[in-house]
């Protein structure tokens, strides 16, 4: 057990060192964010110098729709990008989310107001969704978000599932 803790500590220090090096090379300062939500592996995520793109994990400040659903205003959301500009997104009440006509996630009844509708995302918009967690506070609740709201692309640093 002790050996495992020492190895975990060494790995964390190594990853932080790499993150610090990346932070000095890139224009974005070093940023580490904790994810307390089970919609993604809970734990720490490190910002990396990549552009937001389909499938990448991004962090945003919670939109008003997320706050209306009970998400704290001071806790950032960390979700994968499921759709980008030009993709057609539909969120139908009590059924499913489709992207470009393909079902990607169920929609559960929710007590708070939610975004519903079908539309093609603008070039500067993205749609975030954690498809394996039907109760996730994500695009099913707050709808598309602007790329300007993205605080960066993140990778797992240390999560409950491991580094």
Total number of domains constituting the chain? 1
Which range marks the domain in which residue 37 is found?
A: 2-159
8 has pLDDT over 70:
no
| Distances in whole angstroms, Cα of residue 135 to Cα of each of 38, 40, 72, 74, 131 | 10, 12, 16, 20, 9
On whether the pTM is more than 0.85, the answer is no
What's CA 22's distance to the chain center, in Å? 21
Q: What DSSP assignment string belongs to 111-150?
A: SS----EEEEPPTTEEEE--TT-TT-SSHHHH--EEGGGE
* Both structure tokens of 60: 């945003």
Q: What CATH number is attached to the domain comprising 110?
A: 2.10.109.10
pLDDT tens per residue, range 87-119: 999 998 678 999 999 999 998 877 777 888 999
10-19, 55-64, 70-79 — which one is most confidently predicted on average?
55-64
């Amino acid at each position: 057990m002790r050996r495992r803790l020492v190895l975990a500590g060494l790995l964390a220090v190594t990853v932080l060192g790499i993150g610090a090096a990346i932070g000095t090379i890139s224009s974005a300062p070093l940023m580490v964010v904790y994810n307390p939500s089970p919609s993604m592996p809970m734990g720490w995520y490190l910002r990396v110098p990549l552009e937001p793109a389909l499938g990448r994990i991004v962090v945003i400040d919670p939109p008003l729709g997320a706050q209306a659903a009970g998400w704290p205003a001071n806790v950032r959301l960390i979700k994968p990008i499921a759709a980008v500009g030009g993709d057609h997104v539909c969120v139908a009440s009590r059924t499913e989310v489709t992207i470009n006509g393909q079902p990607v996630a169920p929609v559960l009844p929710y007590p708070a107001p939610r975004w519903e509708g079908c539309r093609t995302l603008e070039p500067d918009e993205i749609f975030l969704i954690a498809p394996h967690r039907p109760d996730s506070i994500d695009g099913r609740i707050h709808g598309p978000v602007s790329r300007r709201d993205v605080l960066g692309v993140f990778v797992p640093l240390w999560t409950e599932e491991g580094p």
